[in-house]
Amino acid sequence: MLHLSALLLGFIIDLIIGDPQSSLHPVRFIGRLIEASESRLRRAFPKNEKGELAAGIVLVIITVLIPTVIVILLLRLFGLVSVYLRFALETVLCWQFLAVKSLRVESMKVYRALKSGSINEARKAVSMIVGRDTDSLDEEGIVRAAVETVAESASDGIIAPLIFMAIGGAPLGVLYKAVNTMDSMVGYKNERYLYFGRAAAIFDDILNFIPARIAGILMCLASGIVGMNMKNAFAVFIRDRKNHKSPNSAHTEAACAGALGIRLGGTNLYFGKPVEKPYIGDALRPAETEDIRRANRLMYLAAVLGLILFCLVPLLVISFFYI
């Protein structure tokens, strides 16, 4: 029950303050751990397919084990001093593993740049939250990129951490963030990471399998509450949720595209090379700047629904049996 209360408070703090920009942030520590481990593992293992696969497995073990053990030990140590001190630490950790406000802040920079008529500023702002080339994007392309990021990040940046922390508090939260961060750093299908990053990518797919589908459903429900097209959101979610190379990435994108009545996906440039992706949704109308704000409304409400489902409801049930 204590970890659920910490999660609730951490969520509220994240809504108010956002993700703290600090060199002591746990995710930054995880990133530095991955970088240091990668360089050492590449030297230690043979430079062939089997060697890189083995090195990647060891990287997963190191990246998951070290942060999780540290968090468990810190919570126990703080708990020996005071239950309130442990609660405070877990609250701070839960806060740092969520990204509700920061996702909105970064995407709304794109929105404001477009509203002011500065296409170059909008390209620069969207380049900070997407991996594709943005130099040649027109207004509709910029909007699609921002909406796709908000939708996808609603799953792995908010709903998935909520689920894991609701189950196991900050220890499971840091475990999830470790795997998710590792996938974002080494989980690429290019020459450098095809084998080395495979274990990280597979583990990330496994952890996100259920949360991604729940997040898609929550976003569909959220669309009905805010007066968007819930019927179309569910229809597109069911039809297009597998239109992505990743088994998890298209679920929230499909729900969002259906709710907004726009089409996402398609061909984009990555490092100067065109990459074709299946379309998600139907172009009932062109994507417009206001869709960024609408996508954020969906993301926020889906996050609140997730909090109610995975945190408040269990708290009420537990409280009922304790009364």
> What one-character-per-residue DSSP string does 202-266 give?
HHHHHHHHHHHHHHHHHHHHHHHHTTS-HHHHHHHHHHHTT-SSSSSTHHHHHHHHHHHT--EEE
Beta bridge partners of 275: 268
- Which residue is associated with the tokens 């794109």? 110
Angstrom distance (rounded) from CA 38 to CA 35 = 5
Q: How far is CA 120 from the centre of its chain?
A: 26
Cα 49 from chain centre: 30
For residue 173, the model assigns a pLDDT of: 97
Ordered DSSP codes for 36-97: HHHHHHHHHS-SSHHHHHHHHHHHHHHHHHHHHHHHHHHHHHHHHH-HHHHHHHHHHHHHHT
Q: Of all helices (H) and strands (E), which one includes residue 184?
A: helix 160-186
63, 37 Cβ separation under 8 angstroms = yes
Report the candidate in 70, 104, 76 with the shortest Cα–Cα distance to residue 303: 104
pLDDT of residue 14: 95
Structure tokens at 44: 């230690």
The ranges of the chain with pLDDT < 70 are 320-323
pLDDT at 322: 67
Query: CA of 153: how far to CAs of 159, 224, 253, 263, 271, in Å?
Result: 9, 20, 10, 18, 22
Q: Where are the domains of the chain?
A: 2-322
Non-local (6+) Cβ contacts of 49 within 8 A are 195
264-270 and 273-280 as β-strands: parallel, antiparallel, unpaired? antiparallel
Place of tokens 């669309």: 223
- The Cα–Cα gap between 316 and 132 comes to 44
Q: Read off the pLDDT of residues 222-262 as tens digits, 9 standing for 90 and up.
A: 999 999 999 999 999 999 999 988 899 899 999 999 999 99
pLDDT of residue 323: 60
Q: What pLDDT shows up at residue 24? A: 81
- On whether the CB atoms of residues 298 and 146 are closer than 8 A, the answer is no
Q: What is the pLDDT of residues 126-135, one digit of tens each?
A: 999 998 888 8
